[in-house]
Amino acid sequence: MQSKKTVVSKMITYGMVILAFVIVFALDQSGLISRHMRSMLVPIGINIILAVSLNLTVGFLGELTLGHAGFMSVGAYAGCLFSIYTADLLPLAARFPLAMLLGGIVAAVFGIIIGVPVLRLKGDYLAIVTLAFGEIIRSVIINLNFTGGASGLKGTPQDSTYPITFVVILIMLFVIMNLVESKHGRAITAIRDNRIAAEACGINITYYKLLAFVVAAFFAGVAGVLFGHNYSILTAGTFDYNMSIEILVMVVLGGMGSIRGSIIAATVITILPEALRFLEDYRMLIYAVVLIIVMIVNASPRFTGMRDFLSPKTWIAILTKKNNGKEAA
C-alpha cells in the first residue's frame, strides 16, 4: 500500500517530466527552439538518467561511489559495438532497444563483479575504490583493439533522439520510483539510516546493497548507449573520473534521495556551462563560482529556507497548504 502522499509525489515527478517534454516538443515543432538548445536535449536526458540512477546508490543507499562513468562507458561500448555489427541486419526499431538492453546488462554484470568485493568498504574508501575501477575500465578500453583504442570507436549509427531519450527516462523513473517505494527500497534506505539496526532487523545487507548498485549500473549502461548513439565517435577519454564527479554534483545539488531534485539539477548542470558560453574566457571560472555559491546556498544551515526546496516534501507541503488556503510559515 502506498500512501496518498507518495502517489501524489510520484505523479508530480511524472507530470513534470511529461510537461517538460510536451513543451519542448511543441516548441521544436513550431521551430521556436534554437539548434544549440535542441542539440542539448539528448545530453540533458542522458544526464537525468545518470543522476537519478546514481542517486539510488548515493542518495538512497548512502554509499558514495565515483565510478558511474565507468559503468556508462562499458554500456556505451557494448551497445555501440552491437549496433555497428548489426546495423545491416536489424531494423532500427529492434536494434536500438536491444542495444540499450545489452548495454544495460553488460554494465549490470560489471556492477556485480565490482560490487561483490567492494561493497563492504565504507565512505571514502568505497569512493576511491569505485574511482579506481572507473579508471581501470578506461585504461583497459584504451588498450583494446576492438574498442578503437585511443582513436575512439567510429561508425555507430546516430540513433539517439530526444523522444527516445524521453521514453527511456519514463521507463527508468517507473523502475526506480517503484523500487524505492517497495519493500526492497525501504530495506535500502534502512541500511543508509542505520546499517547495524537494519542488520539486526534481519535485512540482508549485502543483497540490498548489491541490488541498488546493480540497478544503478544498469541504467548508467543504458545512458551510455544513448550517449554512444548520439555522436559519430566514442572516446574512452570522455569517461574519466571528472565525469563521475559531474554526475555526483548533480545528485548532491538536487538533494540526496530526491529524484525530482536530480532531474532538475541534471538539467541545470547540463545547460549551465553551455549557457555561460557568452562569458568566453571566463566561462569555467564563473561556472566554478556558481557551483560553489549554489552548494553553499543549497546545503548551508544558514539558508534553511532554500535547502529543501527541491525535495518532494516541501513541494507537497506547499501544495497542501495552498489547498487549505493557509499561509506557509
Interface with another protein in residues 2-31 (CB under 8 A):
none
* Closer CB to another protein, 84 or 98, in the complex: 84
Burial tier of 224 (Cβ tally within 10 Å: 0-12, 13-18, 19+): buried
Name the grid cell of 232.
559519430
Identity of the residue, 175 or 210, whose beta carbon is nearer to another protein in the bound complex: 210
Residue 322: count of CB within 10 angstroms of its CB:
11
* Residues pairing with 166 in the sheet: none
Residues 96, 133, 166, 213: which binds another protein (CB under 8 A)? 133
Ranges within 60-99 binding another protein (CB under 8 A) = 64
Does 171 participate in binding another protein (rule CB under 8 A)?
no
Q: How far is the CB of 132 from another protein (least distance, A)?
A: 4
Q: Applying CB under 8 A, which of residues 12, 87, 142, 167 lies at the interface with another protein?
A: 142
Is the distance from CB of 141 to CB of 118 less than 8 angstroms? Answer: no
Find the distance separating the first CA and the last CA of the chain, reported in whole Å: 31
> What 8-state DSSP symbol labels residue 34?
-
Residue selected from 78, 135, 226, 312 as contacting another protein according to rule CB under 8 A: 135
Stretch near another protein under the rule CB under 8 A, chosen from 2-10, 79-87, 120-128, 160-168: 120-128
Amino acid sitting at position 27: L
d(C-alpha 32, C-alpha 47), whole Å: 24
Is residue 320 a contact residue for another protein (CB under 8 A)? no
Minimum distance from CB of 166 to another protein (Å)? 18
Asked whether 206 and 119 are in contact (CB, 8 A), the reply is yes
Q: 13 with 223: CB under 8 angstroms?
A: no
Q: How far apart are CA 50 and CA 185, in angstroms?
A: 19
Q: Using the rule CB under 8 A, give the single segment among 80-88, 160-168, 215-223, 276-284 that binds another protein.
A: 276-284
Residues in region 278-307 near another protein by CB under 8 A: 278, 280-285, 287-289, 291-292, 294-296, 298-302, 304-306
The count of C-alpha atoms lying within 13 angstroms of the C-alpha of 146, restricted to the half-sphere facing its C-beta, is 7
313 near another protein, judged by CB under 8 A: no
Task: Supply the minimum distance, in Å, between the C-beta of residue 317 and another protein.
Answer: 8
Place of cell 561556472: 287
Short-list 238, 190, 230, 290, CA closest to 38: 230
Q: Note whether 105 binds another protein by CB under 8 A.
A: no
Residue 201 interacts with another protein (CB under 8 A)?
Answer: no
Cβ nearer to another protein, comparing 94 with 286: 286
The only residue of 90, 98, 109, 317 in contact with another protein, by rule CB under 8 A: 317
Does 235 engage in binding with another protein (CB under 8 A)?
A: yes
Question: Which residue, 22, 139, 149, is CA-closest to 70?
Answer: 139
Position of cell 505523479? 11
Stretch that binds another protein, among 21-29, 102-110, 208-216, 241-249 (CB under 8 A): 241-249
Q: Which is nearer to another protein, 78 or 236 (CB)?
A: 236
